């Protein structure tokens, strides 16, 4: 008898019929003799709708209240699934994040899980019950409800799998696995049988929203093997796991695009020690997540500094930067929200050369201009105009023959 953690995303629990399908699947796992902990997202587009509702009454809602609001979405899901399981004759109990013993830090709307005290879950499993936990939420140090950022139910599932030492962690979604690119954008994307934690971590943090990146961090840290699979069919998905030797044979395993990007350029700042330190210290204090940073060659003692931030943090960024321009001696700043980041990822990049050249050549052949570049051992990212984002993904997918990746592997 094994312990399964099964997580179902928003589109898998979108309506009553979906809930019944999920209930049947969970029930079947239980009937096979396994213990099951289920983690659910809010139904369909509930979270988006709640965010829109809040903005209608206040353009900048208080973050504690936002968490009170958003956490309700998952509560609807877990209670409905419990009722659907009861209708099948199963014993099931639903729990909020705090009831399940999930403790977070106090960063409302993007909290991190700090610890899990699973006694109540274990007690219920012992009694033979299916335990259904609200994804995306936990209790903050001040005893408030906190949410884990968009896509956070993935992280709840992996963290629970680690805390409970589950035998399997299955992430059910609306695609049947992890692909070489978003299959909704690149029609010839290939489904991967396996992918290394590090590759999945890069893809997820570079825009492939199939898994929240923090969930992959947890999985890697605690050695939780994840399976990403569809809730609409009973076929094997993609296993995310420790890297094995032959994974380096594939140079590029996937392409990701992030359209939530903005580029800031601070013009003509004096080229002297301390300017960058002041700027990025203030941005950090304003809770802005700075990503790529480029400083131009100095001319006549002045230089331009460009950096990227998430587009939804641009107002905070602008307020901070505008307030600093005079004190750092800059001539002015520009804020550009028509940018996107496109990235290629693969552990094989460590041992193969010419990858950057091939990427830039493919983009230039399609007249896609590269504005910024950043690299790590296993990824190359470029900033381009957002209008070309999907095309760039397709171009890079073609350039690295990712439609034939499963032939390359064999």
Using CB under 6 A, list all residues that contact ligand ADP.
Answer: 9-12, 41, 151, 173-175, 178-179, 181-184, 208-210, 254
**Is residue 42 within 8 Å of 10, Cβ to Cβ?**
yes
**Is residue 156 within 8 Å of 97, Cβ to Cβ?**
yes
Residue 42 binds which entry of Mg ion, ligand ADP, ligand ASP, none, with Cβ cut-offs from 5 to 8 Å by kind? ligand ASP
DSSP 223-262: T--EEEEESSS----EEEE---GGGGG-S--EEEEEEEEE
Q: Does 47 bind ligand ASP (CB under 6 A)?
A: yes
By beta-carbon proximity to ligand ADP, the closer residue of 184 and 281 is 184
Q: Which residue from 97, 98, 101, 151 is in contact with Mg ion, where contact means CB under 5 A? A: 151
Give, as ranges, the residues between 8 and 47 that touch Mg ion (CB under 5 A): 9
**Is residue 302 within 8 Å of 271, Cβ to Cβ?**
yes
**β partners of residue 130:** 92
Give, as ranges, the residues between 118 and 137 that touch ligand ASP (CB under 6 A): 135-136
Q: Does 207 bind ligand ASP (CB under 6 A)?
A: no
Question: Which listed range, 25-33, 104-112, 143-151, 327-335, lies at the site for Mg ion (CB under 5 A)?
Answer: 143-151
Q: Which residue from 21, 64, 112, 150 is in contact with ligand ASP, where contact means CB under 6 A? A: 150
Among 381, 99, 405, CA closest to 257: 381
**β partners of residue 379:** 345, 376
Q: How far is the CB of 110 from ligand ASP (least distance, A)?
A: 11
How far apart CA 262 and CA 284 sit, in angstroms, is: 16
Q: How far is the CB of 9 from ligand ADP (least distance, A)?
A: 2
**Is residue 41 within 8 Å of 148, Cβ to Cβ?**
no
Residue 98 binds which entry of ligand ADP, ligand ASP, Mg ion, none, with Cβ cut-offs from 5 to 8 Å by kind? none
Residue 37 parent element (H or E): strand 35-40
> Could you list the residues that contact ligand ASP (CB under 6 A)?
9-10, 41-42, 47, 73, 135-136, 150-154
> Could you list the residues that contact Mg ion (CB under 5 A)?
9, 151
């Amino acid at each position: 008898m094994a312990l399964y953690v099964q997580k179902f995303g928003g589109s898998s629990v979108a309506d009553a019929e979906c809930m019944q399908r999920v209930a049947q699947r969970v029930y079947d796992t239980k009937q096979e003799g396994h213990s099951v902990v289920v983690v659910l997202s809010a139904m369909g587009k509930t979270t988006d709708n709640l965010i829109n509702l809040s903005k209608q009454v206040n353009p900048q809602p208080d973050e504690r209240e936002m968490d009170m609001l958003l956490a309700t979405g998952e509560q609807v899901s877990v209670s409905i699934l419990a009722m659907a399981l009861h209708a099948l004759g199963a014993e099931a109990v639903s729990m909020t994040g705090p009831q399940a013993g999930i403790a977070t830090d106090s960063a409302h709307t993007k909290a991190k899980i700090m610890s899990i005290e699973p006694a109540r879950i274990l007690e219920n499993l012992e009694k033979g019950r299916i335990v259904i936990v609200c994804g995306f939420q936990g209790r903050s140090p001040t005893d408030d409800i906190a949410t884990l950022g968009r896509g956070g139910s993935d992280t709840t599932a992996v963290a629970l799998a680690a805390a409970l030492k589950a035998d399997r962690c299955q992430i059910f979604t609306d695609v049947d696995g992890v692909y070489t690119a978003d299959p909704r954008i690149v029609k010839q994307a290939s489904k991967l049988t396996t992918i290394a934690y590090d590759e999945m971590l890069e893809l997820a943090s570079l825009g492939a929203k199939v898994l929240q990146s923090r969930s992959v961090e947890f999985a890697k840290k605690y050695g939780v093997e994840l399976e990403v699979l569809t809730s609409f069919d009973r076929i094997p998905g993609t296993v995310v796991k420790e890297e094995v030797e032959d994974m380096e044979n594939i140079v590029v395993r996937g392409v990701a695009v992030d359209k939530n990007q903005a580029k800031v350029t601070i013009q003509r700042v004096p080229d002297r020690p301390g300017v960058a330190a002041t700027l990025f210290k203030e941005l950090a204090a304003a809770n802005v997540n700075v990503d790529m940073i480029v400083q131009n060659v100095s001319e006549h003692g002045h230089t331009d500094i460009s950096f990227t931030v998430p587009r939804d943090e641009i107002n905070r960024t602008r307020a901070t930067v505008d307030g600093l321009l005079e004190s750092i001696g800059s001539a002015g700043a520009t804020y550009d929200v028509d940018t996107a980041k496109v990235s290629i990822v693969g552990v094989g990049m460590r041992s193969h050369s010419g990858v950057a050249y091939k990427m830039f050549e493919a983009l230039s052949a399609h007249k896609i201009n590269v504005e910024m570049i950043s690299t790590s051992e296993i990824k190359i990212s470029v900033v381009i105009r957002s209008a070309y984002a999907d095309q760039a993904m397709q171009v890079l997918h073609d350039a690295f023959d990712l439609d034939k990746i499963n032939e390359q592997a064999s």
